[in-house]
Amino acid sequence: MKTMTLLSACTKGEHATVAKINATGALKQRLISFGLMKGAEIVILECGLTKSTFEIKIGSVNIALRREEAELIEVCDVR
């Protein structure tokens, strides 16, 4: 069984696989439009000092997320 964690618990330099997005509506559609969906491989590029923002890379796309958004994304296979 895979261990799940929230994206907001990850740190700079880690790689992970998106397991589930708990967002709804327009936010979920926006995340999907960036390629952030179940099975997507991501890399954590930067975390704010207080982990209030995260910059992640999905394929060739870099996106910034607020902590509130990162807490809605479950990841697994963190390495």
Please report, for the domain that includes residue 27, its CATH number: 2.30.30.90
User: Across the strands, what pairs with 75?
Assistant: 5, 18
Strands (E), the chain: 5-6, 15-21, 41-47, 53-58, 61-66, 73-76
Structure confidence at residue 24 (pLDDT): 95
Structure confidence at residue 51 (pLDDT): 87
**68: domain range?**
5-76
Domains identified in the chain, total number = 1
Cα of 61 vs its chain's centroid, Å: 12
Digit-coded pLDDT (tens) for 14-71: 999 999 999 999 999 999 999 999 999 999 999 988 889 999 999 999 999 999 999 9
